[in-house]
Amino acid sequence: MDENKARACVEATLWPNGPIYPHCQSVNVYRMAIKKTESKKPGRVGLLRCRSCKKQFTVTVGTIFEGSHIPLTKWLMAIHLMTSSKKGISSHQLHRMLGVTYKAAWFMSHRLRYAMSQEAVKNKLRGIVEVDETYVGGKQANRSLDMRRRGIMPRKVPVMALVQRNGRVRTFPIKSANAQTLKSAMVENIQKSAKVITDRW
């Protein structure tokens, strides 16, 4: 994927119904022609202009990509790696896999984690949502010598998983796997109109 394809992907995701200027929310915008400048270099690709307030902008304005000189191709690769990694991914690993400096990888990972914590990402799941719980951790090999001597079994942590069909996945630890806790978590994370599929109800 090159920069033009990456920009087109971001535009299609952010503006499914056409470009919108984020500051005034105007849809009365147009794409500026790419012209040769006096220095014989081409003009900025992907530049748009709002007819209402006469401001120029690109798809990165108002996003975590704004003000960054890191190519969009690297950003999209980082998003894929961070969202598809089951155990998470460190800035050092991003630095090695993307071929960027550690400082750039640290910057990207912090911006992406911040974006994931915002309300737009935390909206309730909808459609068909599959719900299940499991227990994580508590391996016998991880017991300390003192725990082994006293016969203490390692504690497993209950984890709940919510999977929206063809959509988002949300996992988090819970206090216990009883019906009351699970129902409370579903009410908090799933829309009332959604169809919930579980192995219990």
* Residue 39 CB contacts under 8 Å (≥ 6 apart), including other chains: none
Tally of residues, the chain: 201
Per-residue pLDDT of the chain (201 residues; tens, 9 = 90+): 688 898 988 888 888 888 888 888 788 888 887 766 555 555 577 888 888 888 888 888 888 888 888 999 999 999 999 888 877 789 999 999 999 999 999 999 999 988 877 766 567 888 899 998 888 776 666 667 776 777 776 677 888 888 988 878 888 888 888 888 888 888 888 888 888 888 765
Q: What is the pLDDT of residue 76?
A: 93
Residue 93, pLDDT score: 92
| Cβ(160)–Cβ(93) below 8 Å | no
Can you point out the beta strands (E) in the chain?
29-31, 48-50, 56-57, 128-136, 157-164, 169-173, 195-197
Q: In the beta sheet, which residues pair with residue 170?
A: 162
What backbone phi and psi angles, to 5 degrees, belong to 158?
-70, 135
CA nearest to 200, candidates 136, 131, 134, 135: 131
**pTM for the predicted model, two decimal places:** 0.58
Domain ranges of the chain: 1-63, 69-122, 128-197
